[in-house]
Amino acid sequence: MPEINSQKPIVDQIITTITGLKDGLKTYPIRDLVKQAEKFGPYLKQQRLETNQVRKFLDAINQIKALLAQQNEDNNLQEELENIQKKAEKQKDTIRQIQNILEEDLNIKLKDIQKKADDDKDKLIFDKIEADVVLLKPKLAYAAARQRSAKPLEEVISVAIDKVESTKDFERLVQLIESIIAYHKAEGGK
């Protein structure tokens, strides 16, 4: 702020200070304001200004101050402010609900993507063993042709092999065969 020059009339000093403010009167440094007012008051008295000559102006200022204070306490204003806040909270709730729905949808989509990836990986792996799985059928048919007692096993396992389309299906086929063999041995089979 410009230094207060006692040679320059106080009116010009105050005007220069105020016009030099970049972000409104709120940036008027309080120390400058007080120093300038300290000089300006006596200057106005020297000019023979009487308070009653600016009474209407001062009354208008005081009315605006009272109105401003009243607005802070005004119930209607408070209600409007509360309504604005409630509206904002409702909008936040709506956004949260949308976010939850989107998160659920995203989780479902992520699970679907993972399932697809797992299925694709499984298919890639199964493609490498599929021929070997299918070729189990002729081997089983050969065993059944050599031993008639293997014919029921061949019929069951052939149907099961036809249902093998993934590594999980193959794992289940292995469990079926192992279970059959385990119970066969438990009955004394060799």
Q: How far apart are CA 68 and CA 74, in angstroms?
A: 10
Look at residue 108 and tell me if it is in a domain.
no
Structure tokens at 142: 């050969």
- The pLDDT score that the predictor gives to residue 46 is 83
Centre a 10 Å sphere on the Cβ of residue 137 and count the other Cβ atoms it contains. Answer: 15
Contact indicator for 170, 164 with CB cutoff of 8 Å: yes
Look at residue 123 and tell me if it is in a domain.
no
Look at residue 27 and tell me if it is in a domain.
yes
Segments of the chain scoring below 50 in pLDDT: none
Look at residue 109 and tell me if it is in a domain.
no
Q: How many structural domains are present in the chain?
A: 2
- The pLDDT score that the predictor gives to residue 146 is 85
Residue at 127: amino acid letter: D
46, 76, 106 — which closes off a domain?
Answer: 76
Model pTM?
A: 0.46
- Whole-angstrom Cα Rg for the chain: 47
Contact indicator for 50, 56 with CB cutoff of 8 Å: no
Tens of pLDDT, residues 132-145? 999 999 998 988 88
Look at residue 169 and tell me if it is in a domain.
yes
Look at residue 126 and tell me if it is in a domain.
no
Which CA distances in Å does 177 have to 14, 21, 104?
Answer: 102, 92, 41
Look at residue 119 and tell me if it is in a domain.
no
Contact indicator for 180, 153 with CB cutoff of 8 Å: yes
Look at residue 144 and tell me if it is in a domain.
yes
- The pLDDT score that the predictor gives to residue 39 is 87
Distance of CA 59 to the CA centre of its chain: 52
- The pLDDT score that the predictor gives to residue 5 is 53
Q: How far apart are CA 176 and CA 133, in angstroms?
A: 14
Q: How far apart are CA 175 and CA 165, in angstroms?
A: 15
Can you state the angle between helices 75-134 and 167-186, rounded to 10 degrees? 60
55, 76, 97 — which closes off a domain?
Answer: 76
37, 58, 76 — which closes off a domain?
Answer: 76
Name the nearest CA neighbour of 174 among 121, 124, 118, 136. Answer: 136
Place of tokens 């940036």: 27
Residue partners of 167: CB distance under 8 A and separation at least 6: 122, 125, 126, 129
> Whole domain around residue 165: which residue ranges?
135-186
